[in-house]
Structure 1
Amino acid sequence: MVCKPIALVLAAGRSQRFGADKRQQRLSNGLTLLQSSLLLPCAVFEEVWLALREDDPVPLDLPSKVRIVQCASSRLGLGHSIAASVQRISAVSKGQALAVFLADMPFIHASTLDTLLASAAPDRICRPAYQGKTGHPVIFGRDFWAELSQLAGDSGARSVVQANSHAVHTLTVDDPGVLIDIDRPSDVPPAQSV
């Protein structure tokens, strides 16, 4: 690992396509979607941040290492949630790279994270690709945090990746989990082990 990385798990969305709070959807492993999506970051990173909506009650069943950012403007889109989170994290963290996870993607393999972290650096953006399609998590070196803290809208950090294509390292992984998210009840596998 080239630099000290930290994790941000984005969970401030409204679950509109799911029809209910998908973060509380119970998976076949007995854990909620949110708990399942926190397993890998909590196992790997010393510092884990969780972005929630401003009006969210803080879940009591979170691992003790998880620090909360409540995003006042999350209703305006993913970019706003990223910006609010990175502003808070930048002010208090000494991390040199930020691995951005989505809370509806619990099937990412630990080996994928190992591959990404081996290439992480303050001046790089590292992202996985499976069968030619890029996915998550994306690791942003600290050099890009100022840009992340200015995001708005609902297209996430795509603009930061596009504006800094010279710094993007796309790493091929054998992990369909980098592409699989749970947006609708039909996306929940009936007997998926996480």
Structure 2
Amino acid sequence: MIDRFTFPIILLAAGQSRRMQGRDKLLEEVDGIPLIRAQAQKARIATSGSVIVALPPRPHARYEALDGLDVTCLPVPDADTGMNASLRRSVAALPKDATCVMVLLGDLPDLQVSDLCKLARAVDLRSDTEVWRGTTAQGAPGHPIIFRNTLFDAFAILKGDSGGREVVASAQGHVALIPLPDNRARGDLDTPEDWAAWRKARD
């Protein structure tokens, strides 16, 4: 049985897959469905809260890949300026009563619903912790990351493609690292060679 949590998830899926030689990494099939749909389904199963998917402007095939799912598709008109545009707009779209939010990357296919729930279970709003971050089994920081609402205003001024590193840095001393199995927290697939190696390892 899944131990669902209640706060929102932002799924970052507005990147341009520049290193994929014309292919879209978020439309690559994982267990018979596009990766972006698989990631959105995991998010939807893990939380009863809202799931906001940051996407490139329409028209784009990623919207069709999400058809029928109970998620909010959020077009990011300035997505080509970097990941921080998606973070800025997605955090601004959160429910006003959100106590925290999980930020999930679209290109980590090995992450499981159980990993999202494990990270969420670590959240203790009675503590002074402001960031809960998934790591590899060996402790290397990765994703997902949960941000407390005390940090939400910091996202409003983000620019570029830092992925919110400044916000994590501002919480120094108040960051909890949560180990997830294997390399799931950092196993992003950015190139055709990455995908080929990943599929070969699964055979």
Over 3 Å counting, the alpha-carbon distance change for 1:61 and 1:55 in structure 2 is closer
Over 3 Å counting, the alpha-carbon distance change for 1:56 and 1:149 in structure 2 is farther
In 2, Cα distance between the equivalents of 1:157 and 1:192? 31
What's the CA shift for 1:101?
0.6
Partner SS for 1:69: strand
Paired residue for 1:77, among 73, 82, 89? 82
Partner SS for 1:39: helix
Name the counterpart of 2:15: 13
Is 129-138 or 118-127 further displaced after alignment? Answer: 118-127
The number of equivalent residue pairs is: 189
Runs of 4+, deviation exceeding 4 Å: none
C-alpha deviations, 1:130-187, integer Å up to 9, x for none?
Answer: 1121110001111111112321101111110011112211122324211101101122
Unaligned runs of 5+ in 1: none
In 2, Cα distance between the equivalents of 1:18 and 1:60? 20
Partner SS for 1:136: strand
How do residues 17-166 of structure 1 correspond to structure 2 at under 5 angstroms?
17-19=19-21, 20-27=23-30, 29-46=31-48, 47-57=50-60, 59-62=63-66, 63-89=68-94, 92-121=95-124, 124-130=130-136, 131-166=138-173
Answer yes or no: is the 8 Å Cα contact 2:45–2:113 preserved in 1: no
In 2, Cα distance between the equivalents of 1:144 and 1:97? 9
In 1, Cα distance between the equivalents of 2:103 and 2:133? 10
In 1, Cα distance between the equivalents of 2:144 and 2:73? 19
Name the counterpart of 1:172: 179
Partner SS for 1:37: helix
So what's the TM-score if we normalise by structure 2? 0.84
What's the CA shift for 1:45?
1.1
Unaligned runs of 5+ in 2: none
In 2, Cα distance between the equivalents of 1:115 and 1:68? 25
RMSD over equivalenced CA pairs, Å: 2.1
So what's the TM-score if we normalise by structure 1? 0.88
In 1, Cα distance between the equivalents of 2:133 and 2:199? 29
